[in-house]
A = this chain, B = another copy of it.
Amino acid sequence: MSDIPNPADTPEEHKERMAKTKAVRDAEVRSKTIRRGVIVVHTGDGKGKSTAGFGVVLRAAGHGQKVAIVQFIKGTWKTGEGKLLGTLPGVTHVVSGNGFTWNTQDKAQDIAASQAGWTRARAFIEAGEHDVVVLDELNLSLSYGYLDIDEVVGVLRDKPEHMSIVLTGRRAPDEIIAVADTVTEHTLVKHAYASGIRARKGVEF
């Protein structure tokens, strides 16, 4: 018997199916006994990696938790999240980087910006004062070789136990996938941009 509601079920059959599902789910929840912060990765070419990170900021701040978000490789245009993230209670928002690499065209400057961001991020992680630290587009800085992957993995592995860390960005290196607890690949099924539609304010930026 599947645990998914079946439209063909009578109310009684539905109740029976769902009661069995509940028993299974409750037992499953009870079997999860490890309580610690997790390392979460959102990667892939699809949409919603950074926005999922912002959603976690909102969610954690809503619980009264302390959150730090460091944005790597961000554009110079005004983003919606940039205006609100820092105003949420308990949220520290750091922007590092001067735009996409093809805008700056300056390798040394991009590397310096990535490393400045990482210095802030590392300090947040090692201080242990935050419940959640979001590292937006860190994966991309790593894939460009702008940061030392062994150093980053070491800091993630030694993170304070209570702390959760969210990493976003395309091309997450294998070493990051290995150290993470939860990894989601965002797969592009289709994109409005390919149909000639401009990036939409409030949705894409």
Q: Which residues of A contact B (CB under 8 A)?
A: 3-5, 7, 9, 11, 14-15, 18-19, 21-22, 25, 29, 31-38, 40-42, 44, 46-63, 65, 67, 79-85, 88, 100-108, 110, 131-132, 143-146, 164, 166, 177, 180-193, 195-203, 205
Is the Cβ of B38 less than 8 Å from the Cβ of A107?
Answer: no
Q: A102 and B25 in contact (CB under 8 A), knowing A38-B197, A164-B200, A191-B182?
A: yes
Cβ of A63: which chain B residues have Cβ within 8 Å of it? 80, 83, 201-202
Closest to A83 in B: B62
Is the Cβ of A84 less than 8 Å from the Cβ of B108?
Answer: no
Please name 12 further chain A to chain B contacts, defined as beta carbons within 8 Å, in addition to the given A32-B199, A182-B191, sorted by A numbering.
Answer: A32-B198, A34-B197, A42-B47, A47-B182, A48-B52, A48-B55, A51-B51, A59-B202, A60-B203, A62-B82, A65-B202, A183-B190
Closest to A23 in B: B102
Cβ of A100: which chain B residues have Cβ within 8 Å of it? 25
The quantity of this chain's copies bound in the complex is 2
Partner of A54, one of B54, B83, B107: B54
Closest to A50 in B: B55
Closest to A10 in B: B107
Cα A103 to Cα B14 with chains together (Å): 12
Is the Cβ of B48 less than 8 Å from the Cβ of A196?
Answer: no
Cα A18 to Cα B106 with chains together (Å): 8
